[in-house]
Amino acid sequence: MFTSRMDDALTEARAAATRGEVPVGAVLCDPAGRVVAADGNRTRELSDPTAHAEILVIRAACAAAGSERLPGYRLWVTLEPCPMCAAAIAAARIAVLYYGAPDPRMGGVAHGARVFDHPQCHHRPEVYEGIAAGAAQSLLRGFFAARR
């Protein structure tokens, strides 16, 4: 049965905002649909520019699976992944990517590098965009408005 995990990803994004991080959240499900990892951005907390929500859940799921690849897994992210995360998604062989808001500035899926459309990309997940995009976008807008 298909269950949307975007609400869970949004919960992670809100938690990231309360930590002072850019509010992006991600949830990774195994082929059976079980949630195996959920997290939000932690670049400031970990002093790590690669600690995006997507990278953190991929690391956690790979560690749990004892594998560098996650075939059949589905990833939910509140914002269009950046090129770094898109490359990691391809490397992990994730089957399906669902994301919320488009990111014309930093995105690497439908914008910019368009990593999955590149001839050097060996694995292209199924991609569904615009899921709960309004909620994800207003979270981001609120976060950056409060910082200004």
Binder of Zn ion out of 43, 51, 52, 90 (CB under 5 A): 52
Angle separating helix axes 133-147 and 6-18, nearest 10 degrees: 10
Is residue 54 among the annotated active site residues?
yes
The one catalytic residue in 54, 80, 126, 129 is 54
Check the CA dihedral 46-134-37-15 and report its sign: positive
Window of 7-15, 49-57, 89-97, 128-136 that interacts with Zn ion by CB under 5 A: 49-57
CA distance 130 to 77: 10
**Which H or E run contains 89?**
helix 83-91
Nearer to Zn ion, 32 or 88 (CB): 88
User: What binding mask, one character per residue, do residues 72-101 give for Zn ion by CB under 5 A, x or -?
Assistant: ----------x--x----------------
Angle separating helix axes 6-18 and 53-65, nearest 10 degrees: 120
Give the phi and the psi of residue 134 in degrees, each rounded to 5: -60, -45
Q: Does residue 52 have a known ligand-binding role?
A: yes
**Residue set of the binding site for Zn(2+):** 52, 82, 85
Q: Point out which residues bind Zn ion (CB under 5 A).
A: 52, 82, 85
Q: Which residues are catalytic?
A: 54
